[in-house]
Amino acid sequence: MTNTHNRYPPLTPLPRHVGMIMDGNGRWAHRRGLPRLAGHRAGVENLHQVLRAAVDFGVPIVTVYAFSSENWQRPEEEVQGLLNILRDSLQKEVGELHKNGVQLRHIGDLTPLSDDLKEQIHAAVDLTRNNDQLIANVAFNYGGRQEIVEAVRQIIRAGIPAEAVTAATIDDHLYTAGIPDVDLIIRTSGEMRLSNFLLWQGAYAEYYITPVYWPDFDKDEFYKALKAFSQRDRRYGGLNT
């Protein structure tokens, strides 16, 4: 049996919060002569492995980009397929995630979703809300710009005067209120862009880009990303002395 401790020596520092842009599902499927939705299903299955790895490595918070607010522009068949994959995953996997101590949270706008899917999401969040092994934010129908717009609207509705608005005020009105900013953002498939993900929270995040497609981003690849982070010199705009 492999000694996990020797295979994955402890790393320091570890990010408190890791964001993941899970890219490359469609290309993974295309290379195998499979339909795009087969890639998306493989990606969801892989997500469970990555969440288990996060627990093993001691990462306390993960935010995964599951469906952007722009993804509605994809072909109707693919959009409906993605919604069905979410529905199936909630039915089949939430119990196991709950048993493993994962606290599921949703960030984004649930308004366009069907009532039954909304109920499933709320039920998963309610079931796991007291778990403390890992906070897993699932960004579904999420867009970073819209999140900031909505935060500003909430601040105005609350009657907070302009001169009283600070960065902390905006923090408190984001979907991620109460959660530390993301320290590391991982993007698979080699693409070099943010795609409207955690624009505010990622202001000082470190970025790790890998050519590996998301369904192949396994525990070893996750460890490589964490190791790269541990070797970064984070200066937050200043100089280390």
The three-state DSSP-derived secondary structure of the chain is CCCHHHHCCCCCCCCCEEEEECCCHHHHHHHCCCCHHHHHHHHHHHHHHHHHHHHHHCCCEEEEEEEECCHHHCCHHHHHHHHHHHHHHHHHHHHHHHHCCEEEEEECCCCCCCHHHHHHHHHHHHHHCCCCCEEEEEEEEECHHHHHHHHHHHHHHCCCCHHHCCHHHHHCCCCCCCCCCCCEEEECCCCCCCCCCCCCCCCCCEEEECCCCHHHCCHHHHHHHHHHHHCCCCCCCCCCC
Q: What token pair was written down for 137?
A: 């934010």
Q: What token pair was written down for 34?
A: 């499979």
CA gyration radius, the chain: 18
Active-site residue set: 23, 71
Cα(7)–Cα(141) distance, integer angstroms: 37
